[in-house]
Amino acid sequence: MLSEDKLREEVGFLTKNMNAKELQKAIKYLRSIVGQTMEEALSDPLYDDEDLTEEDEISIAQGEEDVAAGRLHSLDEIKRQLGDL
């Protein structure tokens, strides 16, 4: 049996070669196995019981300072800067 990482790699490879109709079928099948959509999973994540580290708290504070100072960019803006749009 393949490792979980290899299995994920295989699924990624297969989905890259699917057309839209095949992808819709695959998503429907996977949802039936998992029992929830991506939106449902993200709206109700598993509880994270790990405490924040000092490094985490510093990073959060820096992020909050950046937001307050207006030092932020939209994803579309970053993509344009990188030439991905």
pLDDT at position 29, please?
81
pLDDT recorded at residue 75? 86
Q: Taking the model in full, what pTM does it have? A: 0.38
pLDDT for res 65: 94
- At residue 63, the pLDDT reads 92
Q: Taking the domains of the chain in order of start, what are their residue ranges?
A: 4-43
Contacts of 50 (CB under 8 A, 6+ apart): none
Q: pLDDT for 27-72, tens place per residue?
A: 888 877 777 777 776 776 656 667 889 999 999 999 999 989 989 8
Q: What is the pLDDT of residue 54?
A: 94
Q: What is the pLDDT of residue 48?
A: 64
